[in-house]
Structure 1
Amino acid sequence: MKRNFLCLAAALGLFAGLSSCKDFLTTEPSGSLPTERVQKEFSLLQPALRGVYDGLQGSSSSTSYYGGLFLISGDVRGDDMQCPTTGSRGNDYYHMSFDQTTMYGPWYKAYGVIRRANRLISMCQNLQPKATTDAQKQEVGNALAQAKAVRALVHFDLVRLYAKPYPYSNNGAMLGIPLVLSVPENKSMPGRSTVKEVYDQIIKDFTEALSSGMLEETSYGYLSSSAVKALLARVYLYMGTPEGNTEALRLSKEVIDGGKYALATQLAEYKQIWSEASSKEMIFSIVNFDSKDWSDREGFAYILSVYGYYNALITKKFYDEMMEDPNDIRWNVLWASKGTKAAGAVQNLPGTNEDMKLFIGKYPGKAAFKDMRTNDIPVIRLAEVYLNAAEAAFKLGNTAQALSYLNVIVKRANPAKSVASGDLTLNRILQERAKELVGEGHRFYDLMRNGLRCERFYDGKPGWHVPLTEASRSFDHTYFRTLLPIPKSELDANATLAGQQNPGY
């Protein structure tokens, strides 16, 4: 399926028009409608679907979700990346200095995407009885399945940002986030559902998308059945229950054994995993086709690049862990600052120099365009699926299976290395996740959902960290700032939510 993007403004305009058109959402039988009108309704389906994906990405003026700071925030709140310079994009996340009046972007951006998905779902449900050809039925069914899958993904992102990790939520009884499952009326004021209710709905949406049989097995820039299975496995893994781990392992195994994707093993291929459409390892990414999709320098690739804003880099802890194996293939997507503007950023870090590979180089942009802003935005790839399977199998007590999946990633990093059964621990699996997924937004959540402390000082010393508050130097999921605050403007506008702010804010 070829995907050509509309600009965000056009997508917003389209959806505003659709949501205000009462005639479009009627339940008139298709037989009573003129053929021309039915054809016009079907012609709006693909633009509406593109608008949903454009919402996930964001734009140069909307940088709080996947296209901007969302992935970065999952790294710099952990112990493997940092924002060392004053004014860095991501500083609020790194310092954990946000409050309910300053941290509002993720909430509104994510719920904006959910509203788009819900409008598309309503559109598809209206069009289904009017679809008379197999092609129309497939098109409507595919769009409906994708809309449900996107809604599930966004609800999952929101519950990770604003609610306790499932294993520490009193069996899911603690407050999660508002579930928005329809096009809301202006007076709608939903309150927070429980964590369990949110996870149940996420699983329901992903499962219905899969069971529809309408998703393609693979798809560049769209959610496919393989991508939905992989993402659903991630959701189950985050639950941390025996049933969740069982399902995470089952679904991960299906993706791996399906043979639709393969790990990159050759160096040239490996270095292109995150940027080129030809990668056989990337299961789902949000696609940029050219620099017009991202019109300035606020995209996450530019924020990280030594040729851009170089606003985040790895920590001394992570560097020392990488130095345990100088032949690790993953050194090839860490960049040194020598010869770039980023060289100045390491001058004040004790014990560093411009030859040290301290910056994330996974996102150079597509080679054809020679512009880092064109880089696709990674959501899930096969390496994570192997690691999800390894963690789930370990937690289920299946050591042999866990070791088998883990060593696939270890040996890809260096064929001369492997993990022995006696050395297999949860921390060893999480260490491999950290090395493999750095710069992709996972480390903070991996620590929090497993009840581990985030130690941002190194052996009791700052390492390369700039001054942090005592509470932000070492914390676990009990620290109130591990959850984002619900924006005050939302609390003021929604009486139901007014008494449901996260504690501490």
Structure 2
Amino acid sequence: MAMTMSCDQLLDIDPEFTQDAENFFNTEEDYQRALIGAYDLMQTAYLQIWIGEIASDNSIAGGESVTDTQGLHDIQNMVHGGENAELRDVMRFNYTGIARANYIFEFQDNLDFNGKDKLLAEAAFLRAYYYFNLVTYFGDMPLIVDRRIAISEIQRIDRTPKEQIYAQIEADLNRAINTLNWTDPETGRITKGAALALLGKVLLYQSKYGEAAQVLDELITTNQAGYGLFEDYASLFYVINQNVNEDVFTIQYSGAQGGDYGCFVCLQGNLAVGFHGIRQYNGPFYADGNSYNLPTQDLYDYFDPADPRREATILDIEAFIAVQPNPGNINYAIGGGGHTGYYNNKYIKRADERGLPDDDLTSPLNYRVIRYADVLLMAAEAFARTGNDARARTELNKVRERVGMPLINSTGQSLINDILRERRLELSGEGYRFWDLVRTGQAAQEIEGFQTGKHELFPIPQVEIDLAGGNWRQNPGY
């Protein structure tokens, strides 16, 4: 899945307040435009790439200085609190996406038309996706379904237990699964496979391993979309290899329209790519950027040198320069926010993949929220945790075979450990590491400064607590 429509289409909605609910939702086009608006908030996934890596042992914040996007440096050092711009954005962006989906459901009975069930199923998926982001970051959150809320209500709404939020997420995803087709003629629309994959992930995060195994098994064995592992891992994250068989749930970006630093949520391109670029770089293949989200030595050393995923995942800048024809002519700058010598080679600005100015902000490189390798590894974990070691090894070894690594023959807890290790090798740089460490109870031993009982969740932004009249309790430890 994903959204291939250009951001021109995504944002081609009349100016705010020119139409209200009473004179909207009167045509099928109105519903489609509202759905595009609900899709649009997925474009803020750069925060997932950053926080999911920087909060873990995979990378440091980097940047121009330690006060350049200070919220990321605070998260890296595990000193983040309620005053954090990036965490505030996570909450606001996801609730905006939920509000746009709820707006559709509030007026779902205004009009009947062919394809309405599909449209509502896509909206349900989007609401589930946004709520899943919120519950993983913050735990209990206000659950608002099928309606907008008035400003006067905010101080009367309490945080909903996360178990109820998960129940709503599962209901919305099952609605999408039962309605949507495996493929869609318009690349970028949510599909049945995307919904199955996200449901499998949601169940895994709740330790519902038997249910997760069942859902992911359906995705793998039925697989009417033809999902598979793209043959060449080394070039998988190039623009030319987007929307291939490995893409199950992907957020699409466009490089066709510029942007500026004043409104990241307004952008049509994947801004993470430019921010990950090499600062003031002058040389072949890559292009200059802002040196954010820099992989650690620990991550680099985690790979077997024979594993081709190391080079595909991590750019060793000095090693790269050394093998170029004219290394003395290549130069770059080191930012004051930290330097490891490594760059995120999956989501990085390359010279021939730049969007329109400012090309720091307009990369057309899509973000793969869930790719098929992740599906196989989630399934392997679910099977291993329910005692089906043989099936777990089958799915795990598909991932290892793709990159020519030796097969795994372990059993029991050793097999589970091997699967979790493979997740880091396969998925680093993509924004999943922190959540994997937290949900498997490994965070305290792998993340410096991590406090058990506190850092499993991020703090509720203080400004949101204030807007709620102080009625929301802060998460423990903050």
- TM-score between both structures, scaled by the size of structure 1: 0.77
- The residue number in structure 1 matching 2:133 is 157
Task: State whether structure 2 residue 198 is matched by structure 1 residue 211.
Answer: no
* Amino acid in the other structure paired with 2:408: V
Q: How does 1:481-492 map to 2 (within 5 A)?
A: 481-492=455-466
Aligned equivalents of 2:14, 2:441: Cα separation in 1:
40
- The residue number in structure 2 matching 1:81 is 59
Q: How does 1:110-189 map to 2 (within 5 A)?
A: 110-128=94-112, 131=113, 137-138=114-115, 140-163=116-139, 176-181=140-145, 182-189=147-154
Aligned equivalents of 1:112, 1:10: Cα separation in 2:
17
* Amino acid in the other structure paired with 1:202: I
Moved more, 77-86 or 401-410: 77-86
CA contact (8 A) 2:141 2:159 kept: yes
Say what the alpha-carbon RMSD is for the aligned residues. 3.0
CA contact (8 A) 1:83 1:91 kept: yes
Aligned equivalents of 1:346, 1:488: Cα separation in 2:
29
* Amino acid in the other structure paired with 2:37: G
Q: Specify every segment of 5 or more residues in structure 2 that has no aligned partner in the other structure, as ranges.
A: 265-270, 279-287, 322-329, 356-361
Identity %: 26
Measured after TM superposition, the shift of residue 327 of structure 1 is 3.7
* Amino acid in the other structure paired with 1:142: K
Measured after TM superposition, the shift of residue 494 of structure 1 is 1.7
Measured after TM superposition, the shift of residue 383 of structure 1 is 0.6
Q: How does 1:264-303 map to 2 (within 5 A)?
A: 264-266=230-232, 270-272=236-238, 276-292=241-257, 295=260, 299-303=271-275
Task: State whether structure 2 residue 279 is matched by structure 1 residue 320.
Answer: no
What secondary structure is seen at the aligned counterpart in 2 of 1:335? Answer: strand
- The residue number in structure 1 matching 2:165 is 198
Measured after TM superposition, the shift of residue 396 of structure 1 is 0.5
Q: How does 1:94-493 map to 2 (within 5 A)?
A: 94-103=76-85, 104-128=88-112, 131=113, 137-138=114-115, 140-163=116-139, 176-181=140-145, 182-189=147-154, 190-213=157-180, 216=183, 220-240=187-207, 244-257=208-221, 258-259=223-224, 260-266=226-232, 270-272=236-238, 276-292=241-257, 295=260, 299-306=271-278, 307-322=288-303, 324-338=304-318, 344=334, 358-364=342-348, 369-371=353-355, 373-414=363-404, 416-422=405-411, 424-455=414-445, 473-475=448-450, 477-478=452-453, 480-493=454-467
Aligned equivalents of 1:270, 1:216: Cα separation in 2:
21
- The residue number in structure 2 matching 1:29 is none
CA contact (8 A) 1:11 1:54 kept: no
Report the CA distance shift for 1:76/1:275 in structure 2 as closer, same or farther (over 3 A): farther
CA contact (8 A) 1:271 1:333 kept: no
- The residue number in structure 2 matching 1:30 is none
Task: State whether structure 2 residue 41 is matched by structure 1 residue 55.
Answer: yes
Moved more, 199-208 or 302-311: 302-311
Moved more, 198-207 or 178-187: 178-187
Aligned equivalents of 1:226, 1:328: Cα separation in 2:
28
- The residue number in structure 2 matching 1:503 is 476
What secondary structure is seen at the aligned counterpart in 2 of 1:410? Answer: helix
Which digits, 9 at most, give the CA deviation of each residue in 1:71-104, with x for residues without a partner?
2101111112222453354323212333223342
Measured after TM superposition, the shift of residue 154 of structure 1 is 0.5
Aligned equivalents of 1:295, 1:12: Cα separation in 2:
21
Report the CA distance shift for 1:196/1:237 in structure 2 as closer, same or farther (over 3 A): same
Report the CA distance shift for 1:428/1:214 in structure 2 as closer, same or farther (over 3 A): closer
CA contact (8 A) 1:389 1:405 kept: yes
Report the CA distance shift for 1:12/1:293 in structure 2 as closer, same or farther (over 3 A): farther
Moved more, 419-428 or 482-491: 419-428
Report the CA distance shift for 1:42/1:218 in structure 2 as closer, same or farther (over 3 A): closer
- The residue number in structure 2 matching 1:172 is none
Measured after TM superposition, the shift of residue 334 of structure 1 is 2.3
Measured after TM superposition, the shift of residue 222 of structure 1 is 2.1
CA contact (8 A) 2:276 2:348 kept: no
Measured after TM superposition, the shift of residue 330 of structure 1 is 4.4
Aligned residues: 432
CA contact (8 A) 1:49 1:143 kept: yes
CA contact (8 A) 1:71 1:441 kept: yes
CA contact (8 A) 2:313 2:345 kept: yes
Aligned equivalents of 2:443, 2:205: Cα separation in 1:
17
CA contact (8 A) 1:334 1:359 kept: yes
- The residue number in structure 2 matching 1:28 is none
* Amino acid in the other structure paired with 1:334: I
Aligned equivalents of 1:409, 1:442: Cα separation in 2:
17
CA contact (8 A) 1:83 1:313 kept: yes
Aligned equivalents of 2:218, 2:41: Cα separation in 1:
29
Measured after TM superposition, the shift of residue 277 of structure 1 is 3.2
CA contact (8 A) 1:453 1:474 kept: no
* Amino acid in the other structure paired with 2:437: L
Q: Specify every segment of 5 or more residues in structure 1 that has no aligned partner in the other structure, as ranges.
A: 26-37, 58-64, 132-136, 164-175, 457-471
What secondary structure is seen at the aligned counterpart in 1 of 2:15? Answer: helix
